[in-house]
């Protein structure tokens, strides 16, 4: 197997580049056939991944965080149908590493290289998001968030010298204080419809966001459906309680939470705007209508098999 390792030196708030020597040492020790390249800007990883098959690579490895994985998945999904799509591998040197968590890929780099060397694969679902203008369609491998956690991600990104977990916690606390009026949304899924104000909407392939928040704790990454969780309009005091429940994955106990699963969703802002992220990358701040669908088992991932 030939591996194209795409390392994002800005991942982990710039710390990922420091891991390159140990990544090379471990890959050499495992005797993997690889080429390692750096990303040079936004969506460069997608471009590199899209050309990987023509260059003879069998596996594209994301050496970074969820943003790097997202770009590579968009590159792989954007390949011509006639092309042989390489598998995706991951070395966790980013912040949240939530896709790897849901896919069963271990966090320590040493164990991640061992998984690559073993070469076992699983096919996982991918989400497809439309309605974000020039970014349409945008694929995601872990999840989409609308509202609260998009703002949290923006706040956490400002904290350059704070660790990922603490950054998200502090970002969430600040967002609780400053959160604007929740938009009124209409969410259609299957034969169902939800119409209400919502501070947070999550539509997930995986289970976790922000390295700590279990947005859809029962989600299964290869069942052909996307799980969702909607938090209704609540006061700031209740927001703190919900915040703690999301950390434990027990938010479904709350009457302010609606959850379920479907193969597709249509989301409209009846009042207000939709702030949207895909796999932690902010892609829309003034959305009005989005559609989300599951692309079943579209992605082959090098991971620990079940």
The CATH number given to 2-119 is: 3.40.50.10330
The predicted pLDDT at position 306 comes to 62
CATH class of 140-297: mainly beta
pLDDT digits (tens, 9 = 90+) for 121-130: 999 999 999 9
Lowest mean pLDDT, pick from 1-10, 96-105, 139-148, 169-178: 169-178
Confidence of residue 137 (pLDDT cuts 50, 70, 90): very high
Distance between CA 4 and CA 295 in Å, rounded?
Answer: 24
Higher pLDDT, 275 or 237: 275
The predicted pLDDT at position 146 comes to 95
Higher pLDDT, 77 or 236: 77
User: 140-176: buried (b, 16+ CB within 10 Å) or exposed (e) per residue?
Assistant: bbbbbbbbbbbbbbebbeebeeeebeebbbbbbebbb
User: Which part of the chain is CATH 2.60.200.40?
Assistant: 140-297
pLDDT digits (tens, 9 = 90+) for 183-222: 999 999 999 999 999 999 999 999 999 888 999 999 999 9
Provide CB contacts within 8 A for 21, sequence distance 6+.
Answer: none
User: Which part of the chain is CATH 3.40.50.10330?
Assistant: 2-119
């Amino acid at each position: 197997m030939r591996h194209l390792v795409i390392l994002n030196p800005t991942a982990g708030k710039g710390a990922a580049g420091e891991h390159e020597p140990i990544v090379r040492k471990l890959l050499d020790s495992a005797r993997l056939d690889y080429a390692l390249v750096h990303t040079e800007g936004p969506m460069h990883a997608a471009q590199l991944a899209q050309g990987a098959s023509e260059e003879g690579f069998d596996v594209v490895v994301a050496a970074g965080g969820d943003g790097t994985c997202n770009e590579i998945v968009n590159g792989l999904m954007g390949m011509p149908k006639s092309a042989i799509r390489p598998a995706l591998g991951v070395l966790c040197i980013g912040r949240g590493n939530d896709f790897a968590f849901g896919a069963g890929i271990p966090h320590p780099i040493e164990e991640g290289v061992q998984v690559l060397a073993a070469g076992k694969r699983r096919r996982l679902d991918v989400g497809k998001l439309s309605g974000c203008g020039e970014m349409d369609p945008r694929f995601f491998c872990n999840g989409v968030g609308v509202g609260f956690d998009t703002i949290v991600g923006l706040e956490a990104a400002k904290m350059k010298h704070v660790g990922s977990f603490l950054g998200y916690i502090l970002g969430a606390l600040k967002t609780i204080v400053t959160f604007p009026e929740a938009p009124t949304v209409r969410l259609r899924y299957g034969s169902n419809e939800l119409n209400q104000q919502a501070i947070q909407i999550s539509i997930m392939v995986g289970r976790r966001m922000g390295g700590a928040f279990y947005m859809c704790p029962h989600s299964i990454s290869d069942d052909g459906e996307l799980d969702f969780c909607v938090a209704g309009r609540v006061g700031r005091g209740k927001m703190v309680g919900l915040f703690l429940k999301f950390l434990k994955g027990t938010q479904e106990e709350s009457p302010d939470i609606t959850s379920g699963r479907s193969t597709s969703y249509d989301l409209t802002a009846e009042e207000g705007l939709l702030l949207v992220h895909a796999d932690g990358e902010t892609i829309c701040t003034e959305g009005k209508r989005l559609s989300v669908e599951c692309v079943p088992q579209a992605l082959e991932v090098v991971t620990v098999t079940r």
